Amino acid sequence: MNRWKGLSVVVAAAGLIGMGAVSLASAPPRQTPPPATVAAPAKTRLTIKKDTVIGIRLDQEVSSETARVEDRISAKVSRDVIVDGTTAIPAGARLEGMIVRVERPTPANPRGKLAIRFTSLLRPDNPRVALSTDVISREAADPAAGTLLDTNAFSTVAGGGARIPPPGRSGSVSGSPTPTPTPTPTPRLRDVRLLAGTPLTVHLTAPISVTIDRDSE
């Protein structure tokens, strides 16, 4: 009797183990949740108004001695341009443009002239943006060192006190030499030169729009 009872217990236990195995085999595989989606940065579009002033510094030296019209130039923005509390143009952004006028000095016009204009903006996170700016013109310093003056206009005869014109002057005493015309000094020619790093200001002549990442502010 005890032998049959023990056998029943063994059979029951085996049945439970078999049911557990079937249950495990029929359970669906555990699925891994998909990775969280990273939201794209929010974009903000800003309009920079006409007449906005942009401070810049030239990237290269420019001179009327070597420059040619349509030569390319560039400059870096020296301070942030803020619109509604947001940086629309960060310091370090680049402006590109060209030489639009060059005049070499001549004897008739001894002061060289140079004019440049910027036509595009490059932000670090933005494609090239076309812009319209005023022309920046510069002229060489006045080369004139001053007017030569004749300080010996009259001489005093010792002992007589009479004032007579010196030799060579109009109205001189009889027998004085014929007046010699004073030659006109040749003017000193000067080119205008803007060194790399020269600070300038650019004025927008039309509004522009830039798109920025809000998260970068």
* Residue of 50, 34, 47, 44 lying closest to 83 (CA atoms): 47
What confidence tier does 28 reach under pLDDT thresholds 50, 70, 90? low
Query: pLDDT of 69-96, one tens digit each?
Result: 999 999 999 999 999 999 999 999 999 9
Give the per-residue pLDDT at 181: 72
Query: pLDDT of 146-205, one tens digit each?
Result: 433 433 433 333 334 444 455 555 554 555 667 777 766 677 899 999 999 999 999 999
Residue 209 CB neighbour total at 10 angstroms: 10
Give the per-residue pLDDT at 153: 37
Residue 125 confidence (pLDDT) above 90: no
- DSSP-assigned letters across all residues of 106-173: -SSS-B-EEEEEEEEEE-TTS--EE--B--EEEEPPP------------EE-TTT--EEPPTTSTTPP
- pTM for this entry: 0.63
CA quadruple 84, 88, 91, 96: dihedral sign: negative
Please name each of the domains of the chain with its CATH number: 43-142+189-202 (2.40.128)
